[in-house]
Structure 1
Amino acid sequence: MIPPYSVAIVHYHLHRGGVTRVIHTASRCLTDAGVPHVILSGEPDESGAKLPVQVVEGLRYGTEPGGITGIQLVQAMRAAASSVLGPGPIVWHFHNHSLGRNRAMAEAVAILAEAGDAMILQFHDFAEDGRSQNYPVIADADTLYPHSPRIRHAFINSRDRANLISAGLPAARAALLPNAITAPAAVKPLEDAAEQALVLYPVRGIRRKNLGELFLLAALSPKGTRYAVTLGPDNIRWQAVHEEWMAFANDTGLPVMLDVVGRLSPAPKAQRSFAGWLRHSTHCITTSVAEGFGLGFLEPVAMGKPLLGRNLPAVTNDFAEAGIVPGRLYDRLLVPVGWVGMETLRQRLVRSLRSTLEAYGQAMSNEHLERSFAAMHHKGYLDFGNLPEDLQRQVIHRILAGEDADAVLVESRAETQPLRTWLRRTLKQTSPTAKPQDLAAYAPDAYAGRLQQLYSSVMDVKPAAPEYVPKHKVLNQFLKPGSFHFLCT
């Protein structure tokens, strides 16, 4: 039965990336369910997929003053949606409206909230969470987080949901909407098993992906092990960091290859495509220090590849609730304090923490400094993943110079052992820790059901005046003392 409403999905663009994949999946789910819908985007869909897209130019990134106003954007969106969907009731499904990439979109959401429109506000990222360059765009927006019986805030992980609830969002208006997982096209396996490990990191090499950790692992892995990152960053902000790691790979000769897809081949006469690299890989890896949904933990399961790497409880706890053990994961990689120097680290922390807080309009308190500094100590060790890149390289140089390699420890579930020992054992294990059928909770049909339940929940109630979560309380949740991370700045 066709539902008594239509859906307008709204985003800044449809460039390749995680949010676009989520929108594409949602559109296909709605089509299969017979739900009339349109996708409103500031730019055309670069994928070429035949989806119901309408371009509304006022939705594209726009942070300079003097552009389209919120009311003008609402008028343009209403006209574009009605041209496809007709005059019936619409559920507006916004993605990342509060990210600080377009002030008019944030204003438009508040206008629609005041008008009593039904809305889903879905969050993949937050300007308050390691995106200080975005924050000034929405720093004075007091109507950023509206809520009412006809508005649901949808989160891709439980941590973000808990943060907004702690800031004042009623729990009944905060929904968990994890992404759907779709298995990629089947890749023909190699005829002969690989003799040595090829560990694939299927991401763009931006800063929070913690590329330095791959080099540490490479320095301590069994001889012949290779590591590869599929893509380089497309955002100019991260390209300098990426180029420094490219130079480090050349200088040290460590077996870490960056930006490989389309540029390098995984083996003689093998395709340079992603499928080619996936086919030749023996394992997948994640060393990221911050994720929204954590696709990198579940996609290897869908692809039948064993996963190793850094655990992120903020996202993997949700997977554990679904009964999924995505891989062989560690909580920290520990290096001796003396390899870095506490005074050096403290000076770097003072500069970086002050700069980050000031970007959010906050002064650095002694509590922020001391709790952040204390959080970095682990009984005489530091977590390699929370060191700035130059100090990561300093640690790796010590290992290459012959420092005691077994002084580097891996910590998993409060137990430690030499990282070199852990790697030798883990890389021998070529069976995944979960099967594709374990991902049923994240299947497209389950996602479609959650979407329709959300839409019905905001359509089946009467309009009411919205209230607003205090913006400063949301910011405080993401800037808690002790939560600072060098690679998330």
Structure 2
Amino acid sequence: MDHPAIAIVHYHLRRGGVTRVIETASACLTKAGIPHVILCGSPPEGRHRLPVKIVEELGYENETSKSASGLRMVQAMRAALRETFGSGRVIWHLHNHSIGKNRHFSDAAGILAESGEPLVLQYHDFAEDGRPNAYPTIADSESLYPFAPQIVHAFINSRDRQHLINAGLPEAQTFLHPDAVTPPARVKPLPRRPRRPLVLYPVRGIRRKNLGELFLLAALAPKGTRFAVSLRPDNRRWNPIHEEWVAFASDTGLPVILDAVGRVSPAPKAPRTYASWIKHSTHFITTSVAEGFGLGFLEPATIGKPLLGRNLPVVTNDFAKANIIPGTLYDRLLVPDSWVGLETLRQKLVRSMRAALESYRQPMSNQHLERSFAAIRHRGYVDFGNLPESLQRQVIHRLLAGSEHHEILAQTGHKTQPLNEWLAETLAKTTPTVTPDQLGPYTPKAYLRRLRELYTMASEATPETPFYLPKHKVLKEFLKPGSFHFLCT
């Protein structure tokens, strides 16, 4: 029997994590001879050979027609499928329908759920998880999380999966579906290793990537070390924060290059391309405070580059189950609390937390406040990564003005040591902590196998009328007291 056609649906195909996932899925399906089409709201960036159909209604809400609706979106998507496949069987594969970028996409997911057609809902991010500005878009939806045997919920990490199970999603209708890990670019190694470290952070410099931590590391790294962030934000909302860091780099002279790709060359006479930056880098880094799958933790190993930076147990705990240690990572960077002023910190916490919780239509309780304040503090220290940018800059200015370099500590498990010593030791390492053999669970071949399982689960189930998770229970899972983070607001 012929395989049903797959309709992969997302808002866009701009450069970024979800686009990489969709590109990999499309390559896997093409290789396997499985018919598919990608529906998105605008043409892909750059060159591509993807089977794309544009459905304008799918764009972000501020980019689409005011007269759009969930029903019109479904009608437009069905019309695009008829043009491509005629009237054959289809499995719908929706990415991030509940993230709050377009309320009509959430409504369309509910309409498709009610139709009884096989449906895969894949989650990369959640509006409930550190995205208070996105949540109001979908706050009134009563059909955000439909569930029935023919609807498979795919998660890229175990924590998110467990949160929705705790909220009432039947475990049998869930599927752990981590991303495939492929080289970010094809590059030949340099004939000689650079004399000084060049540390690349291959991300867009949005707020949760925690750029301030990169500046702190640059202030304490061995002389001659350079740090670079590949791209600036593409969301205008993050531009003011990014520009503050651009100005800070200029004011302090710290060796941090922002928006490097296409603008600056990594070495004399070298191209300014992404591949060139990868080729000339000696290490990759992550200072992010929130990720879905954490592709950046494993990609460096595919090109033989060691990784350093901040550990995120939400993603690295899954890697540990595969016996993977993705890099040399710290759990916290500890700064004496006297450097920030606890009362100042508390006042900023009250203001930021109240505003975030109001966006989620939740009151701020003393329990929320005290647990979050306690989560930032660690026996006379605070974690630099959970400070607002103004206090991060205050810490770095003090560091640059004095000789207290040993006062900043890197904590790994129960061990602490001065951050400058940790950096010198870590940057001296030239090989990844991950071997290519260990990446077996994350190869495209393994990814295709999981895709087939997903689609079989959805298409072979006996359709039933869907139920819907109570959205307040989902919100409660993500908004547990102590979970607040300044850089996720």
Which bracket does the TM-score occupy, shorter chain normalised? over 0.9
Structure 1 counterpart of 2:21: 22
Alignment check: 8 A CA contact 1:303 1:436 kept: no
Residue aligned with 1:373, SS: helix
The equivalent residue for 1:337 is 337
Q: 1:85 — aligned with what?
A: 85
Write the distance in 1 (CA, Å) between the matches of 2:202 and 2:29. Answer: 28
Q: 1:282 and 1:471, CA in 2 relative to 1: closer, same or farther beyond 3 A?
A: same
Report the alpha carbon displacement of residue 45 of structure 1 after superposing the two structures with TM: 2.3
Structure 1 position 70, deviation (Å)? 1.9
Work out the CA distance in 2 between the residues paired with 1:259 and 1:69. Answer: 37
Shift of 1:104: 1.6
Is contact 1:98-1:144 (8 Å) kept? yes
462-471 or 37-46, which deviates more: 37-46
SS in 1 for 2:279: helix
Matched residue, 1:369: 369
Cα shift at 1:317: 0.9
Scaled by the length of structure 1, the TM-score of the pair is 0.97
Q: Deviations over 1:381-427 (max 9, x none)?
A: 10000000110111111111114211111000121111111111111
Assess if the C-alpha contact under 8 Å between 2:57 and 2:65 holds in 1: no
Aligned to 2:36: 37
Match of 1:13 in 2: 12
Which residues of 2 match residues 76-475 of structure 1 at below 5 A? 76-475=76-475
Q: Give 1:186 deviation, angstroms.
A: 3.2
Matched letter for residue 12 of structure 2 = H
User: C-alpha distance in 1, partners of 2:15/2:422?
Assistant: 36
Q: Secondary structure at the match of 2:153?
A: strand
Is the contact made by 2:329 and 2:412 (CA closer than 8 Å) also made in structure 1?
yes
CA offset at residue 244 of structure 1? 0.9
Distance 2:230 2:201 in 1: 6
Q: Which moved more, 1:71-80 or 1:90-99?
A: 71-80
The one-letter amino acid of 2:75's match is Q
Q: Partner letter of residue 279 of structure 2?
A: R
Residue 149 of structure 1 deviates from its aligned partner by 0.4
Q: What SS does structure 2 have at the residue aligned with 1:31?
A: helix
Alignment deviations for residues 406-451 of structure 1 (CA, whole Å, 9 cap, x no partner)? 1111000121111111111111111111122321111111101100
Q: What SS does structure 2 have at the residue aligned with 1:335?
A: strand
Q: CA RMSD in A?
A: 1.4
Identity of aligned residues (%): 64
1:109, CA displacement in angstroms?
A: 1.2
Q: Distance in 1 between matches of 2:72 and 2:201?
A: 43
- Cα shift readout 1:447-482 (whole Å, capped 9, x = no counterpart): 011001110111112110111111111111111110
Query: Offset of 1:185 from its aligned partner?
Result: 4.0
Alignment CA distance shift 1:82-1:16 (3 Å): same
Q: Distance in 2 between matches of 1:112 and 1:276?
A: 44
Structure 2: distance between partners of 1:223 and 1:471 = 51
| SS of match in other structure, 1:454 | helix
**Quick one: distance in 1 between partners of 2:338 and 2:398?**
11
Check whether the contact 1:38–1:85 (CA below 8 A) recurs between aligned residues: no
Structure 2 unmatched runs, 5+: none
**Amino acid of the residue matched to residue 87 of structure 1?**
S
Hey, what's the Cα distance between the residues in 1 that align with 2:476 and 2:2? Answer: 43
In 2, the alpha carbon distance for the partners of 1:45 and 1:255 equals 34
Deviations 1:163-222 (A, max 9, x none): 111111111111111111112443222222222111111111111111111111111111
* Count of residues in Structure 1 that have an aligned counterpart in Structure 2: 488
Partner of 2:57: 58
Give the letter for the 1:41 counterpart: C
Report how far residue 2 of structure 1 moved: 3.9
